[in-house]
């Protein structure tokens, strides 16, 4: 009876000290509350437009024809692109492209419309800028869609080029329907794609920062309780475990805001039920809190750790494999993907949150988080100076 009582007493003391060190440090409070609330709101507001609209296209129309004007009208009417103006020459267009006043040039050659009445094909030339992939997709998509719809209408006018039996055959063989279906992110929205991973990244980054600020090197030795239990690795293990539980509970509460409220407010993809999210979140939060404690062992002062955390947050998105296929990331980085709770967590959360995966579908991620937890628990326990 005596030992469990001491363990509970020790755990309570650790939790009280954690609460005290967080609530009395403005910088840690700023990181946890400011980071979670500010980042979550800010990134959602930033990406709220969700899709690219009115990507500017400049026109060089040498044909001055009814067909070119009709095409320009249809492109301008599309939500993703707009005609920003017209210039006399391609060189004028390139200048606008280089200064980002336009994102694509639409060029109609002088004989563009004449080809409709002849045996030729009316071909326009689109020169999109590719420095922004989203602008490229917006401009190319709008022009291709408008061109295909107008081509369909002008097909009749070309039938004179074919013998009658071929025309009859074509008339009896309607064009096969091609149906592209977008899953999970029906608006093809950038916020719907990026915000779920960012929410996981916010948890990972703010927790790692907070734990590093309060528990690296000297700071940790000042705050470790010394009562009751023997000065041993066992005590250290208990301390690491208690701290992990504290941060798991704290971020469990914050996740109510991040992963339940925020997706509702901003209408993000939100396909998982509460139990599935909780089942994923527990190993993720434990792995992150243990990773952060192991990471904090590398540094002597809180700010030292900060130097090394922030710069890499952007890189974690690339390492998660959601923007570029994980299979094609070179092996050393591919291996690093499996070692970090953030990258594995992003894939797991996108699976259940955006794609409606069941827990069994993300079991590889859950297992990885559990393995990571074990590794980082051992590192946090057996590295650095023992207390006392």
Partner 1 sequence: MRLWQTLLREIGLWSRKPILFVATLALPLFCLLFMATIFGRGEVREIPIGVIDGEFSSASRNIIRAIDASASLCVTKHYNNSAEALNDIRAANIFGYIEIPPLHKGLNTNGFPPTIAYYFHYAYMGIGGVVDSTLREIILTLQLETATNQTEQMGVEASRIDVVLSPIAADSLPIFNPTLNYRIYLSPPFFFILLQIVVLMVTIYTIGYDIEQGGGRKWMQQTGGRMGIAIVGKLLPYWLVFCAVELLALAIFFNWTAIPFGGSIVKLASYAVLLVSATQGVALLIYSIIPNTSIAMSVVSMIGSLGATLSGVTFPIGSLYPIFQLFAKLLPIRHFTLLLQSEMVGGVSVAEQWPQIAILLIYSLLPLVLRGRLKHIITHRHQ
Q: Which of residues 267-286 bind partner 1 (CB under 8 A)?
A: 269
User: Nearest approach, Cβ of 152 to partner 1 (angstroms)?
Assistant: 9
Dihedral sign from CA coordinates of 344, 349, 352, 355: negative
Residue 59: strand pairing partners: 86, 106
Burial of 117 (0-12, 13-18, 19+ CB in 10 A): exposed
Burial of 148 (0-12, 13-18, 19+ CB in 10 A): exposed
Q: Is 46 in the site for partner 1 (CB under 8 A)?
A: yes
Q: Which member of 22, 36, 40, 52 binds partner 1 (CB under 8 A)?
A: 52
Restricting to residues 180-199, which ones interact with partner 1 according to CB under 8 A?
180-185, 188-190, 192-194
Q: Do you know the residue count of the chain? A: 388
Q: Is 165 in the site for partner 1 (CB under 8 A)?
A: yes
Restricting to residues 69-98, which ones interact with partner 1 according to CB under 8 A?
71, 94, 97-98
CA count, 13 A, side-chain hemisphere, 315: 11
User: Nearest approach, Cβ of 40 to partner 1 (angstroms)?
Assistant: 12
Q: Which member of 347, 376, 377, 379 binds partner 1 (CB under 8 A)?
A: 347
Restricting to residues 209-238, which ones interact with partner 1 according to CB under 8 A?
209, 213
Burial of 213 (0-12, 13-18, 19+ CB in 10 A): buried
Q: Is 179 in the site for partner 1 (CB under 8 A)?
A: yes
Q: Is 110 in the site for partner 1 (CB under 8 A)?
A: no
What's the DSSP call for residue 160? G
Span of 24-32, 57-65, 249-257, 260-268 interacting with partner 1 by CB under 8 A = 24-32
Q: Minimal CA–CA distance to 356: which of 273, 286, 268? A: 273
User: Nearest approach, Cβ of 237 to partner 1 (angstroms)?
Assistant: 27
Q: Are 342 and 204 in contact (CB under 8 A)?
A: yes
Restricting to residues 251-270, which ones interact with partner 1 according to CB under 8 A?
269
User: Nearest approach, Cβ of 337 to partner 1 (angstroms)?
Assistant: 11
For residues 213 and 146, give the distance between their C-alpha atoms in angstroms, rounded to a whole number. 56
For residues 152 and 246, give the distance between their C-alpha atoms in angstroms, rounded to a whole number. 64
Q: Which member of 229, 309, 339, 375 binds partner 1 (CB under 8 A)?
A: 309
Which conformational region is residue 350 in: left (phi greater than 0), alpha (psi within -120 to 50 degrees), or beta?
Answer: alpha
Span of 58-66, 236-244, 250-258, 350-358 interacting with partner 1 by CB under 8 A = 350-358
Q: Is 129 in the site for partner 1 (CB under 8 A)?
A: yes
Q: Is 114 in the site for partner 1 (CB under 8 A)?
A: no
Nearer residue to partner 1 within complex by CB, 12 or 310: 310
Q: Which member of 169, 221, 231, 385 binds partner 1 (CB under 8 A)?
A: 169
Q: Is 143 in the site for partner 1 (CB under 8 A)?
A: yes
Residue 56: strand pairing partners: 82
Q: Is 344 in the site for partner 1 (CB under 8 A)?
A: no
Question: Who's near 142: CB < 8 A, 6+ residues apart?
Answer: 55, 57, 75, 78, 80, 81
């Amino acid at each position: 009876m005596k030992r469990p009582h001491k363990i509970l007493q020790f755990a309570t003391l650790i939790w009280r000290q954690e609460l005290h060190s967080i609530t009395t440090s403005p910088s840690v409070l700023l990181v946890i509350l400011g980071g979670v609330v500010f980042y979550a709101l800010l990134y959602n507001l930033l990406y709220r437009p969700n899709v690219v609209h009115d990507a500017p296209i400049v026109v060089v129309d040498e044909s001055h024809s009814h067909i070119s004007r009709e095409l320009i009208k249809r492109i301008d009417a599309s939500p993703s692109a707009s005609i920003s103006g017209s210039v006399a020459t391609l060189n004028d267009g390139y200048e606008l492209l280089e200064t980002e006043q336009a994102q694509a040039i639409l060029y109609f050659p002088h004989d563009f419309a004449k080809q409709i009445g002849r045996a030729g094909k009316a071909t326009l030339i689109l020169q999109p800028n590719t420095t922004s992939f989203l602008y490229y997709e917006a401009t190319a998509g709008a022009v291709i869609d408008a061109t295909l719809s107008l081509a369909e209408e002008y097909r009749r006018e070309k039938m004179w080029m074919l013998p009658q039996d071929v025309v009859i055959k074509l008339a009896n063989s309607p064009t096969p329907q091609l149906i592209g279906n977008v899953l999970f992110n029906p608006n093809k929205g950038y916020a719907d794609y990026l915000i779920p991973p960012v929410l996981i990244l916010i948890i990972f980054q703010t927790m790692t920062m907070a734990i590093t600020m309060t528990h690296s090197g000297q700071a940790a030795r000042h705050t470790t309780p010394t009562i009751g239990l023997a000065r041993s690795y066992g005590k250290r293990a208990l301390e690491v475990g208690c701290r992990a539980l504290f941060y798991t509970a704290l971020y469990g509460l914050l996740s109510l805001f991040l992963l339940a409220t925020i997706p509702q407010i901003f209408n993000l993809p939100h396909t998982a039920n509460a139990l599935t999210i909780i089942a994923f979140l527990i190993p993720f939060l434990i792995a992150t809190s243990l990773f952060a404690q192991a990471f904090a062992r590398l540094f002597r002062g809180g700010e030292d750790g900060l130097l090394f955390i922030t710069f890499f947050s952007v890189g974690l998105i690339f390492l998660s494999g959601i923007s570029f296929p994980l299979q094609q990331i070179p092996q050393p980085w591919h291996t690093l993907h499996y070692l970090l709770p953030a990258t594995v967590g992003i894939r797991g959360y996108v699976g259940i949150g955006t794609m409606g995966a069941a827990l069994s579908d993300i079991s590889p991620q859950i297992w990885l988080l559990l393995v990571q937890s074990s590794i980082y628990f051992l590192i946090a326990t057996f590295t650095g100076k023992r207390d006392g």
